[in-house]
Amino acid sequence: EYLCHVYVRSDGLAGVVVADTEYPQRVCFTLLDKVLDEFSRQVSKIDWPSGSPATITYAALDDYLSKYQVEPWRP
């Protein structure tokens, strides 16, 4: 029913999208690429290994998730 899409970059940064089987794979990887690219520009690489939501602020994630979310079709 769901697929887990994983993208690991050569710099060690990784992202995961869990989506239903109807969500386009290409869109998942476009989202992952954009989020990881922007995150790597905003957050120092030194903070990646020890960072947590309490220590790293990345507000753009909510905007991306909202933009890429597909509302279920209702008749």
What structural domains does the chain harbor?
2-69 (3.30.450.50)
Comparing C-alpha atoms, which of 45, 50, 41, 3 is closest to residue 22? 3
pTM of the model: 0.83
pLDDT of the residue at 72: 60
Rounded Cα distance between 36 and 48, Å, is 12
Full pLDDT tens readout for the chain, 75 residues? 999 999 999 999 999 999 999 899 999 999 999 999 999 999 999 999 999 989 998 989 999 988 888 766 555
* Residue 22, CA distances (Å) to 7, 37, 38, 45, 51 in order: 19, 25, 26, 34, 33
pLDDT of the residue at 73: 55
Tally: H helices and E strands in the chain: 2, 2
pLDDT of the residue at 69: 86
Rounded Cα distance between 16 and 19, Å, is 10
